[in-house]
Structure 1
């Protein structure tokens, strides 16, 4: 019997893509901790710190092949890098940091947890995507999981006034919208690339985002002028460097690799790992075990991902996992 080499290759691509998605989620979950670690700094200052170091690290890594990469980049590539960096990096992290500081990690994780549902619904219209009807079990499990997290947040809300909670909720909603636009736009941009590697695309985005974040420094000096001790600034620098290296460099590299291996409908489900790891880090930070509702949410979210993987292994799977 002749082995199905095409099916075996497709299965390996899917498994490698899922592994990259899990790794990216584990690293991206760290960004939820940064606003808590540097809670005395504003979301704007946290954003500037993170992306300035992201740009510096990217420039240092790309330095040996800078001229060759620049020569390959087109005008449309620079435009895409600019709006993706602004929308998916700067706007997203300002809003996410504000949501964590005002509403807490649980509420923020709830809202960001809807990312897989939103991205999967958008990706279901792409050519070669798994039909939406086969994704409903996964989507329903995902919704059930984030509702469990939401009920837990309502039952034991973070300390603060109702006004702060509402502002935090609005920031989380804005972060959700920003990341949906970024996830869809970046996945489609990567699938169109044939002259720039995934790693170089990530580094170029770091350089562009770092340059854009420098434009925010005068704004920060004018409106975030609260004095801080040198030790506090050192802590902000350490947190910013760690998030830039782990989340922005390594996490984005894994995510971009995954985006070329998986269809957009499955890419949406991989975002669930960011929510899972963010909650796990939150439990470790607060030195407590998850409640019953939080444990149920973990189970439902994992079941959602496994259900989506099963949907992509059906008859339409070989076509669905081919790059667009």
Structure 2
């Protein structure tokens, strides 16, 4: 339990970097940052193959197909739809929808394990309800506090997102992002628990390897489409207006957030019940808040602080709920 919690905490701290990098590269489209992150992840995975060559050689064709599905849905589809949703609908509402992931994943994981007959990983809804409600309340308090979005409004010149079809499409894409990253940790954890221990790092490397061609193909396709549809507004390929900053930060998030974060999350998924692991994605939200406060150079407001306390309390309650099941496995 302790090793799994520490691994989930480490993954959350690393994944939180992804939320501050767009602030540092505000002149880059979000979809380009997604391509850059996962191309860097794939290139770094190529350099790490030698360490895991024996384990990778034992993966079957079905395993590689599974890695491809996880990479496509959990990496490219998730971050592309999230970036596009924020561009179309503004940041607050899509961010609130993504913030419900710990609750959505925990509920879906508990349903899946119940249907699969895995009694050891299932808890009664009455025991799971309290930590889920507390986490959801904390996320709502943070996201609905006006001070939490002051910087976002300032970055948009004080203008809110436009209504109509554009806004509705943004909400639809945010819903796709939620669905993508609800599916990913449940499916990924199921694959890991079906194998023996010691595959966290090789499985992270395998996902990086299959992500590289997918990200390259998606980037080329987007560049061609942009060149045809809007050549005057096309991105300055391949590295944009600040090449050194872009390449450096993409390598940072590719190594820290994508590869090492995935490695730690794989470790946590192997050690913890799936519904508990789903709740611990809240660490990513907490890390993102911490980095944002450091970037903006301010302390959290009263509502933000209250929300953070609720988030931490919900995680601690979740640990207590699952401790008997974990100790007996």
User: What's the TM-score bracket when you normalise by the shorter of the two chains?
Assistant: 0.7 to 0.9
Distance 2:298 2:57 in 1: 52
Match of 1:198 in 2: 200
Distance 1:291 1:116 in 2: 23
Match of 2:82 in 1: 96
1:57 aligns with 2:59: no
Q: Do the aligned partners of residues 230 and 103 (structure 1) sit closer, same or farther apart at CA in structure 2, a change above 3 Å counting?
A: closer
* DSSP-derived class of the 1:73 partner: coil
Residues 192 and 269, structure 2, Cα contact 8 Å, conserved in 1: yes
2:276 to 250, 257, 266: 266
Distance 1:169 1:282 in 2: 23
Residues 85 and 205, structure 1, Cα contact 8 Å, conserved in 2: yes
Name the TM-score, length of structure 2 as normaliser: 0.84
Match of 1:5 in 2: none
2:127 to 119, 134, 148: 134
Aligned-residue CA RMSD in angstroms? 2.4
1:82 aligns with 2:68: yes
Match of 2:162 in 1: 162
Distance 1:191 1:134 in 2: 24
Match of 1:233 in 2: 243
User: Displacement, 1:186?
Assistant: 0.5
Residues 272 and 326, structure 2, Cα contact 8 Å, conserved in 1: no
Q: Do the aligned partners of residues 303 and 187 (structure 1) sit closer, same or farther apart at CA in structure 2, a change above 3 Å counting?
A: same
Aligned residue-pair number: 305
User: Displacement, 1:218?
Assistant: 2.2
Distance 1:109 1:86 in 2: 21
Residues 56 and 202, structure 2, Cα contact 8 Å, conserved in 1: no
Matches within 5 A, 1:107-186: 107-125=93-111, 126=113, 127=118, 128-129=120-121, 130-153=123-146, 158=153, 159=156, 160-163=160-163, 168-186=170-188
Name the TM-score, length of structure 1 as normaliser: 0.86
**Worse-matched range after superposition: 166-175 or 240-249:** 166-175
Distance 1:155 1:252 in 2: 29
Distance 1:106 1:280 in 2: 17
Distance 1:32 1:98 in 2: 15
Residues 311 and 317, structure 1, Cα contact 8 Å, conserved in 2: no
Match of 2:231 in 1: none
Residues 29 and 278, structure 1, Cα contact 8 Å, conserved in 2: yes
User: Displacement, 1:317?
Assistant: 4.3
Structure 2 gap ranges (5+): 228-233
Moved over 6 A (4+): none
